[in-house]
Amino acid sequence: MKTKRLSVTKNLVLTGVGGQGNVMASRALAGMLVDAGYVVTIGETFGMSQRGGSVMSHLRISPDAVRSPQIPRGGADVIVALEPLEALRVLTVYGNPEVSLLSNSRSIDPIGVITGERDYPSEETIRIAFARLTARYWLFDATAVGLDLGNPVLSNVVMLGALAGTGLLPIDRRMFAKEIRKTGSPGKCALNMKAFDAGFSMIK
Amino acid sequence: MKRKKSSQSRLKKEVLEQSLCTGCGACVGLCPYQVVYRDRTVQLFDCDLSDGKCRAFCPRTPADGRLLRDGLFDAADATDEIGPVKEFWFTRAKDAGLRARAQHGGTVTALLRLAMSEGWIDAAIVSGRLDGREPEGRLIDRGEEPADYAGSRFWAAPTVAAFHRMPENGAGRVGVVATPCQALALAKIRTAKIDGYQKGGTLSLVIGLFCGWTLALDRFQNLLNQYHLPAQNLTGMDIPAGKNILELRTAGGAVNVPMDEVDECVREACRYCIDSTAEFADLSVGAARFGGNPVEMSGWNQVIVRSEKGKNLVSLARDQGILECREAPRRALAELMSAAAEKKKKALARIIEKSRSPEKLLYLNPDDPAVRKYLNEVLQDKAKPLLKKKGDR
Amino acid sequence: MTRLLAPAGSKVLFLGNEAIARGALEAGVSVATAYPGTPSSEVIESLAPAASKRNLYVEWSVNEKVALEVAAAASFAGLRSMAVMKQNGVNVASDFLLHLTASGTRGGLVLVSCEDPGALSSVNEGESRYFAGMLEMPLLEPADFQEAKDMTKWAFELSEAIGNVVMLRSVTRMSHASGNVVCGTLPAKARKAAFEYGGPIMDSQTGPMISTPVVAKHLLRRQKLKAVCALFEKSPFNRYTGPARPDLLLITASACWLYAAEAVHMLGLQKKVGILKLGTTWPLPPRLVSQYLRKARRILIVEEVMAFLEENVKVLAAGNPKLSEDKTFFGKYDGTLPFAGELNPDIVADALVKIFNIRRCGLSSSYQEEARKTAAMLPPREQTFCAGCPHRASFWSIHNAIALDGRGGFVCGDIGCYSMAALTPANGFGTMPTLHSMGSGTGLASGFARLAPFGFKKPVLTVCGDSTFYHAVIPALINARHNRADITFIVLDNQGTAMTGFQPHPGNEMNALRESVPAVDIAAVCRAIGAKVAVCDPFDLSATGSVLTDFLAEKDSLKVLILRQACALSPEKKGKKTFEMKVDESLCLGDACGCNRLCTRIFRCPALVWDRKKKKAAVDEVVCAGCGVCASICPRKAILKSQAASAAASGG
């Protein structure tokens, strides 16, 4: 599927919980886009946020200029979430009526929920919030796909495949294959491609 | 909606922080939140349950003695001074060898042995050996010899915890040798109606011990240090009749400590205790002391039989020739009651001093007639100096 | 092949730190040193794999002071060298730095300071720009990724031009952000080291490398700044975009340039606001800055964290009446921008909105209301020790030992992952009430333990990590021993510098270059100091608890307990489980009296989950690291552990 070349900056937020492979996904995505000739800025925080905390990458994809590594409030065009609570968190700060959202449905309880001090929003509440705060959204279990393929962390690649499937960004399978060959072993590449394809097929 | 206060925090406020904890172990062994360490009951973490067994079983949380007595004893046997009395005997074990290993008459050991061999109980819980280690309750079964655990300990062991630690199904019926506070906790356990808690039914027999006080381990340890006496060298302790000393026995001889030095070492909580004869046990055993010649009485126990089961056990022991029983001199019971009543009054006086109110009796129920009687006497005694003043000319 | 060695002309997506590393390589750096510190660690981490190919010596030094000294030695020997650290690392190195700027340098020496405005990964929001002013060394601040590379390369040339240290300052949003960089050429020839010192005392290129005579060398240091200013006036790193006569002159540097550019763009103020982006921020090039100050009556200075740039601009303006009369300065001093925390495009936009008295087109109020309502119901995601972290087990044992002791003992905390015991009290089970800088826990403990004459009866404990031990704790430990401070010192030895990404330290037998090196044994050092030393596995709760209760009861001595167990994220452990853990639901008491969810409510391992429907605990096998500790704490032995297949196969 051929996608139109971007003429303005597109803002994408990739979010999840520390340890879910957020950083790898954002690097892979940025790598693909830099290859395609875009000026990409990624803003990330790691270190303490990794210890079970929320993780966010802001990707600024511009045809021409370097942008701030932080997206302004309400400025996200696309949100890709590896965890639904984090999807909501990002939506409430960077969302706007035109934003598109792809979210994994598998939840990871924060400690406060595990101990019973707080409640995790129900699936219905999440769907309603998604519907109200986005222009359109996709919600599916990417972790299940990853587990089927032998590693739950592959959910991040599943989400990238899904993102490609939506056509929201000018990325495709060929670009991903090229990117993954740069960084992974041959065995890992095959697995990643399977995950990518599975995600791609989630989008109807 | 206001959250109910947790049992644990109430236990802390009502008992631990009031220096009322007797170290009986009733709140320990139920869960990971409370432990006993070096004579202290320690709350390790916060539990937010409001219907916890720890507070329900603690002998120093408010409870109605009347309900407990009604559940365990015949009303006709009640006395105000020393609890229910069915029978009162002087006893001693027939076996002289057993008596030699025991504190006085070897009655407790003889009765435990009998209860086990007759199958009334499958195991017994006693306090651990005198070997200088951390005091704790010990579970002994048919294979072990109760005489190994004979001899008085003058410090608290959290014996009730050993009962809690027994597996849910498996140990069968249990007999416990208990101090008065432990016997009260065990009475609460036996009569408890708690959803899902069936264990109280395994408690078949409680043999109570007479008790005046226990020693706070840390202060007692200091005392031993002053006398250059390592705890592991102690073979026994006793207060010889008529003497105002604590006799500490070792392999190499005995050391006599004046009672006022010992008094400094008494555990704070004991000063608020009204029960010197273990009123909630099936039978209670002490050293024979009253109503006769000390020499003649040495080597004998005085026994208060309280429940039907207690009566049957003592009967069986006598019939089988395991226990020698004789009628106690008439004065013995009267003097025992008198001493017990004095202790109640002293304790009540301290309780109302602590609570700053004659209507607030901490863990005791002022509506319990057994308590009310002595409370009134204490209040009258307090008023006496005033009356005297009025009467002065 | 590492991306850092990409051929000239390649377009690569680099982290800001990688761009700095590439710049250093292009400058022909020979020696690069550092102590791990977020957000600076990736500079050395990316250089290490390239070291063998570039005749480069890379070292994780024991602390930042030594790192700078090692780099300085290389500089004295004529080699180009670099020392990298986070903001408070500069504080640690500052005593040597003070003397270094006076003695001067030879081979280009660049001090890279990566700072953390907003303390995203720090427990402080320190500022090392002031060191540039105080120690009179040039300060450069890159504002994007290409600049991070180009500026670093030029910094070495500048350092050699003036014979002094050059400071290059980055921030998290630059160091940890990524962007496009076009690579330059890597030099072919490597330099040779040589150190002569027989020349005149005032000649730092041939004479002795000393900071004396002090006043004379101080004046010499100031003299060098003239040359610096001349270079700064012409520097391509200072750029202006905007109208010839802007309504508002916005002066900025570093990542704040990107925020400012974005804010101006968002508000459509390109015709009204002129942005002067400075890359050479100290000393300010007077002619250049004056030239732009003359263009506008209103000036906004945008910087993180404190008002360093603002103060210097105002000092410059105050020196010339034409520059300061009739001018309004906006910035931190007048409250337009905050004195604390990091900035972002929204904060700068809010400032512009206030100055121009305009409205910002935002989201509809109904959307905002929906977002606000949704946000209110979201549970926060707290930081906690990872599943399988030895610290959780260590603090469990420490807490219990303190509770059993009963005298109100407490732990003086230190810097590392275990700092989280102070940041979120539940992580440390409430044991850690103090937290400051590296090594300060032992120093504080050494102080608390001397307060007995003042009626202080609480037992004093302190913890530190293995890396922290070598960094700063040893002197404090000697102090405790020599001054007879009765403390229980616990080393949480997880065999690496974990919080910052598992860099090696002197306790490991491998260094940054993956060479086999001798390890310095912590237990041996403590014994040599005269402490009583024990070593335990923190996963063995009963052994650890036993040693701790004994240590707490023992008076008048220095007691050291080393709790040794590898970090859950360490290379040897990551992805491998020792045990498979499972909850036996038939035994689990759940929230009933007798347990009340000890594992999910108190122990709080993220892999132990409370199933609300079944009212039982469960193990999340995706999160579980298989350490097995939870099996020891369950009062019903309902958590079962069995050897994991991988562990069994490897015989482990």
Instruction: Tell me the three-class secondary structure of B202-224, residue by residue.
Output: HEEEEEEECCCCCECHHHHHHHH
Domain check: are C53 and C173 in the same one? yes
Confidence of residue C496 (pLDDT cuts 50, 70, 90): confident
Domain check: are C174 and C198 in the same one? yes
Residues 372-391, chain B: which have Cβ within 8 Å of C? Answer: none
Say yes or no: C542 contacts chain B, CB-CB below 8 A.
Answer: no
Residues 284-323, chain C: which have Cβ within 8 Å of A? Answer: none
Please state, as a whole number, how many other Cβ atoms lie within 10 Å of the Cβ of residue B100.
12
- Pinpoint the alpha helices (H) of B95-246: 96-101, 107-117, 159-165, 180-191, 217-226
d(CA A82, CA A79): 10
Say yes or no: C479 contacts chain A, CB-CB below 8 A.
Answer: no
In a domain, C361, yes or no: no
Q: Model pTM?
A: 0.91
Kindly state the greatest CA–CA separation across chain A.
49
B240 compared with A60, residue with greater pLDDT: A60
In a domain, A4, yes or no: no
* CB C413, CB C465: distance < 8 Å: no
H or E element in which residue C415 lies? none
CB contact under 8 A, B31 and C403: no
Domain check: are C67 and C106 in the same one? yes
In a domain, A48, yes or no: yes
* Domain count for chain C: 4
- For residue A96, the chain C residues in CB contact (below 8 A) are 363, 367
Interface test with C, best of A13, A70, A124, A154 (most C CBs within 10 A): A70
Say yes or no: B218 contacts chain C, CB-CB below 8 A.
Answer: no
* CB B65, CB B365: distance < 8 Å: yes
CATH of the domain at C334: 3.40.50.920
Interface test with C, best of A9, A15, A51 (most C CBs within 10 A): A51
Say yes or no: C403 contacts chain B, CB-CB below 8 A.
Answer: yes
- Pinpoint the alpha helices (H) of chain B: 7-14, 53-57, 65-72, 96-101, 107-117, 159-165, 180-191, 217-226, 259-263, 294-297, 308-319, 330-355, 369-391
d(CA A39, CA B225): 80
- For residue C400, the chain B residues in CB contact (below 8 A) are 44
Domain check: are C165 and C16 in the same one? yes
Residues 88-127, chain C: which have Cβ within 8 Å of A? Answer: 120-121
CB contact under 8 A, C378 and A27: no
What pLDDT shows up at residue B385?
65
d(CA C190, CA C80): 10
Per-residue pLDDT, averaged over C628-637, amounts to: 96
Per-residue pLDDT, averaged over C365-379, amounts to: 95
* CB B301, CB B107: distance < 8 Å: yes
Domain check: are C226 and C280 in the same one? no
In a domain, A121, yes or no: yes
Residue in C399, C403, C593 closest to B49 by CB: C593
Q: How far is B354 from chain C (nearest CA, A)?
A: 24
Q: Coil, strand, or helix at residue C506?
A: coil
Nearest to A81 by CA among B257, C378, C75: C378
φ/ψ of C196, rounded to 5, equals: -115, 155
Say yes or no: A112 contacts chain C, CB-CB below 8 A.
Answer: yes
Domain check: are C601 and C542 in the same one? no
In a domain, C9, yes or no: yes
Please state, as a whole number, how many other Cβ atoms lie within 10 Å of the Cβ of residue C158.
22
Say yes or no: A111 contacts chain C, CB-CB below 8 A.
Answer: yes
d(CA C345, CA C253): 14
Examine the pLDDT at A160 and tell me if it is beyond 60. yes
**Residue ranges with strand state E in chain A:** 10-17, 39-44, 54-62, 78-81, 100-104, 136-140
- Judged by average pLDDT, the poorest of A140-154, B304-318, C99-113, C396-410 is A140-154
Q: How far is C491 from chain A (nearest CA, A)?
A: 21
Q: How far is C172 from chain A (nearest CA, A)?
A: 8
Residue in C180, C255, C379 closest to A110 by CB: C379
Q: Which tokens sit at C172?
A: 């998290």
Say yes or no: C252 contacts chain A, CB-CB below 8 A.
Answer: no
* Domain count for chain A: 1
In a domain, C539, yes or no: yes
CB contact under 8 A, C349 and A52: no
Q: What is the DSSP letter of C636?
A: T
What pLDDT shows up at residue B131?
62
- Provide block-wise average pLDDT over 10 residues at a time, chain B (393 residues): 80 94 95 92 95 95 90 93 95 89 88 93 84 76 80 85 86 92 96 89 94 91 89 82 85 90 93 96 91 79 96 96 90 93 95 91 91 91 64 45
Burial track C388-421 (b if 16+ CB lie within 10 A, e otherwise): bbbbbbbbbbbbbbbbbbeeebbbbbbbbbbbbb
In a domain, A5, yes or no: no
Q: How far is C586 from chain B (nearest CA, A)?
A: 14
Look-up: residue for tokens 């190919």?
A: C53
Strand order in the sheet with C166-171: C57-60, C31-34, C81-86, C109-115, C166-171, C139-140, C280-282
Q: What is the pLDDT of residues C269-290, one digit of tens each?
A: 999 999 999 999 999 999 999 9
Burial track A72-96 (b if 16+ CB lie within 10 A, e otherwise): bbbbbbbbbbbbbbbbbbbbbbbbb
What pLDDT shows up at residue B392?
46
In a domain, A34, yes or no: yes
User: How far is C-alpha A40 from the geometric centre of its chain's CA atoms?
Assistant: 16
Interface test with C, best of B16, B28, B33, B51 (most C CBs within 10 A): B33
- Judged by average pLDDT, the poorest of B61-70, C340-349, C586-595 is B61-70
Residues 129-158, chain A: which have Cβ within 8 Å of C? Answer: 129, 132-133, 143, 147, 152
Which residue in chain B has the smallest CA separation from C595?
Answer: B31
- For residue B33, the chain C residues in CB contact (below 8 A) are 596, 598
- For residue A17, the chain C residues in CB contact (below 8 A) are 381
In a domain, C382, yes or no: no
Say yes or no: C592 contacts chain B, CB-CB below 8 A.
Answer: yes
In a domain, A3, yes or no: no
**What percentage of chain C reaches a pLDDT higher than 70?**
99
Which residue in chain A has the smallest CA separation from C178?
Answer: A42
What pLDDT shows up at residue A150?
87
CATH of the domain at C622: 3.30.70.20
Domain check: are C349 and C264 in the same one? yes
What pLDDT shows up at residue C650?
47
Per-residue pLDDT, averaged over A180-186, amounts to: 81
Confidence of residue C545 (pLDDT cuts 50, 70, 90): very high
Interface test with A, best of C262, C381, C602 (most A CBs within 10 A): C381
What pLDDT shows up at residue C372?
95
Domain, as residue range, for A138: 10-202
- For residue C172, the chain A residues in CB contact (below 8 A) are 45
Q: What is the pLDDT of residues C28-40, one digit of tens each?
A: 999 999 999 999 9
Query: What are C122-125's contacts with CB under 8 Å, separation 24+?
Result: C122/C38, C122/C86, C122/C87, C122/C88, C123/C415, C123/C419, C123/C423, C123/C435, C123/C436, C124/C87, C124/C88, C124/C437, C125/C305, C125/C340, C125/C341
φ/ψ of C249, rounded to 5, equals: -95, 120
In a domain, C416, yes or no: yes
Q: Which amino acid is at C652?
A: G
Examine the pLDDT at A2 and tell me if it is beyond 70. no
Mean pLDDT, chain C, integer: 94
d(CA B379, CA B383): 6
Domain check: are C589 and C631 in the same one? yes
d(CA B346, CA C145): 84
- Give the β-pairing of B253-258 and B245-250: antiparallel
What pLDDT shows up at residue B133?
65
In a domain, C385, yes or no: no
Nearest to C71 by CA among C40, C97, C41, C51: C97
Q: Which amino acid is at A68?
A: S
Domain check: are C544 and C599 in the same one? no
CB contact under 8 A, C594 and B31: yes
Total CB pairs under 8 A between chain A and C: 183
Which residue in chain B has the smallest CA separation from C587?
Answer: B168
Task: Kindly provide the ipTM of the predicted complex, given to two decimals.
Answer: 0.91
Domain check: are C67 and C158 in the same one? yes
Which residue in chain C has the smallest CA separation from A58?
Answer: C177
CB contact under 8 A, A116 and C379: no
Gyration radius (Cα) of chain A, Å: 16
Q: Which tokens sit at A64?
A: 């021409």
CB contact under 8 A, B45 and C429: yes
d(CA B217, CA B221): 6
CATH of the domain at A136: 3.40.920.10
In a domain, A2, yes or no: no
Domain, as residue range, for C587: 579-649
Q: Which tokens sit at C460?
A: 């004093």
Nearest to C15 by CA among C254, C177, C183, C258: C177
B377 compared with C361, residue with greater pLDDT: B377
Q: How far is B49 from chain C (nearest CA, A)?
A: 7
Q: Coil, strand, or helix at residue C60?
A: strand
CB contact under 8 A, C379 and A113: yes
In a domain, C571, yes or no: no
What pLDDT shows up at residue C109?
98
- Give the β-pairing of B87-93 and B301-305: antiparallel
Residue in A72, A88, A132 closest to C266 by CB: A72
CATH of the domain at C509: 3.40.50.970
d(CA C403, CA C545): 11
- For residue C598, the chain B residues in CB contact (below 8 A) are 31-33, 45
Say yes or no: C407 contacts chain B, CB-CB below 8 A.
Answer: no
Q: How far is B318 from chain C (nearest CA, A)?
A: 42
| Burial zone of B197 (CB within 10 Å; 0-12 exposed, 13-18 middle, 19+ buried) | middle
In a domain, A16, yes or no: yes
Residues 523-582, chain C: which have Cβ within 8 Å of A? Answer: none
What pLDDT shows up at residue C369?
95
Q: How far is B45 from chain C (nearest CA, A)?
A: 8
What pLDDT shows up at residue A198?
94
In a domain, C377, yes or no: no
Say yes or no: C597 contacts chain A, CB-CB below 8 A.
Answer: yes
Say yes or no: B49 contacts chain C, CB-CB below 8 A.
Answer: yes
Say yes or no: A56 contacts chain C, CB-CB below 8 A.
Answer: no
Query: What are chain B's partners, defined as 3 or more CB pairs within 8 angstroms?
Result: C
Domain check: are C304 and C202 in the same one? no
Domain check: are C65 and C130 in the same one? yes
User: How far is C-alpha B281 from the geometric centre of its chain's CA atoms?
Assistant: 9
Query: What are chain A's partners, defined as 3 or more CB pairs within 8 angstroms?
Result: C
What pLDDT shows up at residue C651?
43
